[in-house]
Structures are given as C-alpha cells and as structure tokens.
Structure 1
Amino acid sequence: MEVPLKPVGKEDTRKLELALILGTLMRSDVLEKIRIAEDKITWLDSLVIAAGALARERAGYPVTKIAEELGRTEATIRNHLQGKTEAGKIVRETYEAFVKSGGKVELVLPGGEELERLRRENEELKKKLESVKSALQSLLSSL
C-alpha cells in the first residue's frame, strides 16, 4: 500500500491518518504499552488523535482547524505535534518510517515476522525431505 506523505485533499489526509493509526497500533512496542496501560481507552484515544493531528498537519491544516476537527484543544494538538506527548512521539516515529520507505507501507500483523520465519523453515525442511526421499529411492532401486 502506498501512503501520501504530503496529502492533498481530504481523501489523502484520511489515507495517511488511517495508515498512521494502523502502522502505530501494529508495532510490537505499542501493543505492549497498550497491554500494560491502566487506562487503555485513554491511551488509544491519544494515539488516534496524534495520528489525526499529524496527518492534518502534513496536509497543511492550521492548528486551530486541526483542534476543531478533532475536538481537542489547540494546546493538546500542539503537544502531540511537537512530540511532547508519548503518543505524539510514537506516531511521529511511525510517520518517519513511512518517509524512509518512500511512502510504501507494509503492515505486518504482530507475530508476522515469526510466521514468515516458520514458513521459510518449513520450505527448507520440505526440500531436505524431498532430497532424503530421492536418496532413499535411489538406494532401494540399487538393491
């Protein structure tokens, strides 16, 4: 999926916002923070607001309009955008990862890396098994 890093219009802004939300929520460090957070709803809300604020900022919205659209104070929005909140820092890190990839985003579900490693291992084992079968068949046919 490709994400507009400098959104033009509401649709692009929404795409970036959703990518920031999903990209942030799929990070293992964030999932752990959510798991241990006492007030999970507030923490998730902060992440969503920070993602919405950053997407709108990238689209050129002024802080006043961002605050109005997201239903938060201008101070809260500024704090997220300036990385003064943990949510703001984390969402900014996600955005920077998008920038490094040129806007190409691959969302990997938690455990996806382990699943991929197991798939590769499985393929290697299948090849070895076929090799052993072939060697056994050659041995049996020579007897």
Structure 2
Amino acid sequence: MEVPLKPLGKEDTRKLELALIFGTLMRQDVLEKIRNAEDKITWLDSLIIASGALARERAGMPVTKIAEELGRTEATIRNHLTGKTEAGKIVKETYELLVKKGGKLEFLIPGGEEIEKLRRENEELKKKIENVKQALQSLLSTL
C-alpha cells in the first residue's frame, strides 16, 4: 500500500493516519510496551491521537485545528508533535520508517522478510516432497 507522506486533502490525511496507527501497532517494540502497560487503553489512545496529530500536521493543518478535530488540548497535540510524549516519539519513528521505505507500508510489518523467506523455503520443501513421492512411486512400480 502506498501511503501519502505529504497528504493533500482529507482522504490522503486519513490514509497517512491509518498507516501510522497500523505501522506503529505492528512494531514489535510497541506490542511489547502495550503488553506491559498498566493502562493499555490510555496507551493505545495516546498512540492513536499522536498518529492523527502527525498526519494532520504533515497535511499542513495548524495545531488549533488538529486539537479541535481530535478532541484534545493544544498542549497535548504539541507534546505529541514535538516528541515530548512517548507516543509522539514512537509515531515519529514509524513515520520516519515510512519515509525511508518511500511510503510503502508493507515493509513495516515485523517479520515480513522472515515470512517471505519461510514462504520460499516452504515452496522448495513442497517440490522436494513431490520429487520424493515420484521417486517412491517409480520404485514401487518396478518392484
């Protein structure tokens, strides 16, 4: 999925916001922090608000409008955008990963490369099993 890194309009902003939420929540370090958090709901809410704030900021929206849209104070939004909150820092890291990957979200999924490697190995093993089956059938027919 291609993600607009500099959104133009509400649809692009929403795409970036969702990519930041999804990309952040799929990070192994974030999953671990959520597991260990005492108040998981508050933690998730902070990540979602930070994602929404960053997406809107990248679209050129002023902090006052972001705060109004997200139902948070301007101070909270500024803290997320400047990385003063842990959620703000984490979402910024996710954005930087998106930038490095040219806006391609699929590369943010943890273990993606490992999954692809396992998929290839699985295909190779299937072929080998099929070859062994054929060899066994050939051997059985000669007996």
Structure 2-normalised TM-score?
0.86
Matched-pair contact (CA < 8 Å) for 1:23–1:107 = no
Which ranges in structure 2 are unaligned for 5 or more consecutive residues? Answer: none
Matched-pair contact (CA < 8 Å) for 2:98–2:108 = no
- What is the distance in 2 between the residues matched to 1:80 and 1:137? 65
Structure 1 residue 56: Cα displacement: 0.6
Deviations along 1:61-81, one digit per CA (max 9) or x if unpaired, are 111111111111111111111
Identical columns (%): 85
Structure 1 residue 51: Cα displacement: 0.2
- What is the distance in 1 between the residues matched to 2:110 and 2:76? 30
In the alignment, structure 1 residue 45 sits paired with structure 2 residue 41: no
SS of corresponding position for 1:60: coil
Deviations along 1:47-96, one digit per CA (max 9) or x if unpaired, are 01100100010000111111111111111111111111110111111111
Residues 130 and 108 from structure 1, CA distance in 2 versus in 1: closer, same or farther, beyond 3 angstroms? farther
Instruction: Tell me what 1:94 maps to.
Output: 94
Counterpart residue type for residue 131 of structure 1: N
> Which is further off, 133-142 or 99-108?
133-142
Number of matched pairs? 143
| Aligned-residue CA RMSD (Å) | 2.3
- What is the distance in 2 between the residues matched to 1:116 and 1:71? 41
- What is the distance in 1 between the residues matched to 2:4 and 2:109? 22
Residues 115 and 31 from structure 1, CA distance in 2 versus in 1: closer, same or farther, beyond 3 angstroms? same
> Which is further off, 8-17 or 50-59?
8-17
Instruction: Tell me what 2:20 maps to.
Output: 20
- What is the distance in 1 between the residues matched to 2:5 and 2:112? 25
Which ranges in structure 1 are unaligned for 5 or more consecutive residues? Answer: none
Structure 1 residue 121: Cα displacement: 3.0
